[in-house]
Amino acid sequence: MILAHSIIGIMPINNSGFNWFWFIGSIIADIDHLFVLYQHKIFSWNKFIDAIQFEDKYGIHFKTKYMHSIFGAVVTSIPIFLINQEGALYYFIAYLIHLVLDWPDIDEKQYFYPFKKKIRGFLPIFSKPERIFTILLLGLYFYQI
């Protein structure tokens, strides 16, 4: 749901339009994807798509326990909280929504890190239901603005 996170991030919140805290919170968890891509030297678009769809085939997990977890949400929210408490709340909620949107994905996640409980969803990455959901989100976005 790569695009879905960005669409959620640009949605107006609290009747005030665009909010940077909300936007960054909705996409920051995916920064771990960049580290995994670099670590495994995946530099082509086709290899990236194949690797993200078939993680087990490559022995790769794009959603790391540090960023795709409630732990990641809390730890990354703390510095923001020290600067702007309301912004930290928007950031944290958007981060949690990101995790919820990733829940149905079939890849392995460890949302409750440091506990070892692993979660797998039921939808393949870039599946037809995911694409339909993303299109519906985009429609909702244009309806709201």
How does DSSP assign 23-46, residue by residue?
Answer: HHHHHGGGHHHHHHHHHTT--SHH
Tell me the pLDDT band of 1, cut-offs 50, 70 and 90: low
Contact yes or no for 81/46 (Cβ under 8 A) = no
**Paired tokens of 39:** 């670590």
Phi, psi of 130 (to 5 degrees): -65, -45
If one counts the domains in the chain, the total is 1
Distance CA 75, CA 63 (A): 16
Distance CA 7, CA 101 (A): 12
Q: How do residues 116-141 score in pLDDT, each as one tens digit? A: 999 988 888 778 888 899 899 999 88
Q: Identify the domain containing residue 81 by its residue range.
A: 2-144
User: What's the pTM?
Assistant: 0.87
What is the C-alpha separation between 114 and 72, in angstroms, rounded?
10
Instruction: Give per-residue pLDDT as tens, 12-54.
Output: 887 778 899 999 999 999 898 888 888 888 888 888 777 877 7
Measure Cα distances from 55 to 49, 96, 104, 110 in Å: 10, 23, 15, 15
Average pLDDT (59-66) is 81
